[in-house]
Structure formats: C-alpha cells, structure tokens
Amino acid sequence: MKSIIYLIIGTFFGIVMYKSEAASWFRIYEMFNFQSIHMYGLMGSALVVGIIGVQYIKRNKIKDVHANPIIITDKEKSFPRYLIGGIFFGLGWALAGACPGPMFVLAGAGYFPILVVILGAVLGTWVYGLLKDRLPH
Amino acid sequence: MQWILEPWPWYISGPLIALTMFMLLYVGKSFGMSSNLRTLCTLCGADKTSDFFKFDWKSQRWNLLVMTGAVIGGFVASNYLSDDQVPNLNPTTVAQLQATGFESAGSAYAPAELFAEEALSDPKTLAILLIGGMLVGFGARYAGGCTSGHSISGISNLQLPSLIATMGFFIGGLLMIHLIFPLIF
C-alpha cells in the first residue's frame, strides 16, 4: 500500500515536469541564453514556496506521517566538490537538456533516444564511484 | 478543464515542484532524483567494483518508485494531458537554433535532431546523448545532488553547499552553450 504513495508522488512530479516544460531541451537552451523568464520563474517560484515552507516546518517542528520530526540533513561543509561537481553536471544538463528527473519523464513520453542519456548517467555515476577517492572533495 | 491541456505557466508549476518536495518530506523521505542513478549502479552489480555502491539498495526502493512514477507521469502528461504541447520559445531562441541546424525548434517539445528515433543511427548524436548523460551522472554524484536535491531541497533549507552547487550547474551550462556548442553544432 505504501508503494502506491511513492508511485503517485512520482507520477505527479512527472506530470509537472512535462507540463511545465522543464523536461524540454529547448527550455534549457533558452534559459542558458537568458532569453526567457520561464525557467527562472519556475525555479524561483518553487524556491519562494520551498523556503517559506521549510522554515515553517522547522520553526513549528512539524512532524511527518509517522510522527517523526521532519529533518532535512545538512550537506557536509566543503567547497571544491560542489563547485567542480556542479560544473560537470551543468555541462551535461545543457548538452543533454535533461537532468535526472526529466530524463525519466521523457522516457515515459516516448522519446526513446533519452534511454542513451539515462545509460550515460548511470555510467557516469559508476565512473564517479570508481574515481571517488582520487578526486578533490 | 481546457487549461490542463495547455502548457502550465511557471508560476503554477514552480509551487507544484515545491509541493512534490513537501509531499516527500511528509511521508518521511526527501526529494533527490539523482540518488536513483547510484541505486541503479548497485542493481547492475557495481558494488563489486567500488565500496561507494555497497549499500542496501532496498532502503532506496521508495525512490525507485518515485522514479517509476516520473516515467508514468511523462506518459500520462504527453498522451492524455496535452494537445501536442510545443514550448512557446522566444522567437530569437528559435531563429538562433534554426540557424544552427535545429529545424524542429518552435514546432516540437524536444528537438527531433536529438530525440527522434532516426537520431539513434547518427554516431555524432549518439555520442552527444551518451556524453551528456555521463556528465550529468558524474557531476550529480560528485556534487552530491542534482537540481532536485540541491537547487530545490537544499536551497529551500538555506544550505550554502547547495547554493555553490547550483552556481556550478549554471557555470557548466553557460560554458556548454556559449563555448562548446559553437564547436559541435
């Protein structure tokens, strides 16, 4: 029964990604050319609601469905991994026009060449796992 | 109900992305799609090659279900909630793309030059898709998250690392579009 909840949340997310065009390669290209407010408005409005909601959760110690406090784990403090890793991610995001959520949305929408992107993303993750200890973090 | 079939404006979709994060927080989980790529590696046997992949993948089963839902969502949205949706791009963007060989700009959801099935028989296109995917996978794990985990969840939680990662995402994206695209397209 619990599995259904995750499927429903995922389906909702997939529909939003498709209908908002965050899954469109063209929108990513347009964003990096600063030619539309669309993607900035999308992320900006998600953040306005996100920041207010998360602060509300923290101040009021809101509990989740299992009555456990909602905790968002802080990322470990560091600089190089976020900047360098982020740059690698951005290069791929602009080239493939899809980040790890939308690539699965596009697979569902029937753009089968996206499966090559997904295969690449799994391979890239594997390469990171192999090189992890030799990379600056 | 006609509005559902239209493209959804950013000021509706953005808050709905935040809602996705809140739904996951409410069921005791977190919003982060790229973690699934690591789980997929483990399922493919990568745990035999690096300790990074040695973890109980079943603890991530919920996220694989969210990922599966995203596939279903893409199917439902494109087949039942859209009337051949085409992004209403800036005319400058369309002209710029058409001049670089993306003739489907302005008339398709995703570029046919990369995502039509014929594109798979072109080695250059295959390389672009594979390398693009690899950079996303490598970068997401190196940075410890992607657009969902860092740019939405992390910044909502006012975490400095997530802001740095998001700045990295934009530096990488700008480098790709403005310096590398002219060399490949």
ipTM: 0.96
E strands of A3-116, at which residues? none
Closest CA to A105 of B177, B121, B168, B85: B85
- Amino acid at residue number B6: E
Distance (Å, whole) CA B29 – CA B180: 38
Q: Which of B14, B71, B116 comes nearest A45 by C-beta?
A: B14
Q: Enumerate the β-bridge partners of residue A69.
A: A63
Produce one character per residue of A99-123: b if its CB has 16 or more CB atoms within 10 Å, e if not. Answer: bbbbbbbbbbbebebbebbbbbbbb
Residue at A55 is within a domain: no
pTM score over 0.90: yes
Output helix, strand, coil percentages for chain B, rounded to the nearest 5. 70, 0, 30
Produce one character per residue of A35-67: b if its CB has 16 or more CB atoms within 10 Å, e if not. Answer: bbebbebbbebbbebbeebbeebeeeeeebeee
Domain count, chain A: 1
Question: What pLDDT score was predicted for residue A2?
Answer: 83
Question: Quick check: A99 and A93 in contact, CB under 8 A?
Answer: yes
Interface of A with B in 60-119 (CB under 8 A): 64-66, 68, 70, 72-79, 81-101, 103-114, 116-119
Residue at A60 is within a domain: no
Residue at A113 is within a domain: yes
- By C-alpha distance, the chain A residue nearest B84 is A19
Across the interface, do A99 and B155 touch by the CB < 8 Å criterion?
no
Question: What pLDDT score was predicted for residue A1?
Answer: 59
Say yes or no: B39 contacts chain A, CB-CB below 8 A: no
Residue at A84 is within a domain: yes
Say yes or no: A127 contacts chain B, CB-CB below 8 A: yes
Residue at A105 is within a domain: yes
Q: Enumerate the β-bridge partners of residue A63.
A: A69
Residue A92, domain extent: 1-35+74-134
Q: How far is CA B141 from CA A55, A91, B53, B109, in A?
A: 27, 14, 12, 28
Question: What pLDDT score was predicted for residue A88?
Answer: 98
Q: How far is CA B161 from CA A56, A57, A86, B4, B145, in A?
A: 21, 21, 10, 36, 10
- By C-alpha distance, the chain A residue nearest B31 is A72
Interface of B with A in 107-126 (CB under 8 A): 108-111, 114-117, 119-120, 125-126
What is the rounded radius of gyration, in angstroms, for the C-alpha atoms of chain B? 19
Closest CA to A10 of B9, B157, B62: B62
- Amino acid at residue number A135: L
Question: Quick check: B110 and B99 in contact, CB under 8 A?
Answer: no
Backbone angles phi, psi at A109, to 5 degrees: -75, -5
One digit per residue, the tens of pLDDT, for chain A of length 137 reads: 589 999 999 999 999 999 999 999 999 999 999 999 999 999 999 999 999 999 999 999 999 999 999 988 888 889 999 999 999 999 999 999 999 999 999 999 999 999 999 999 999 999 999 999 999 99
**Which residues of chain B are under the pLDDT cut of 50?**
none
> What is the distance in angstroms between the Cα of A104 and the nearest Cα belonging to chain B?
5
Residue at A119 is within a domain: yes
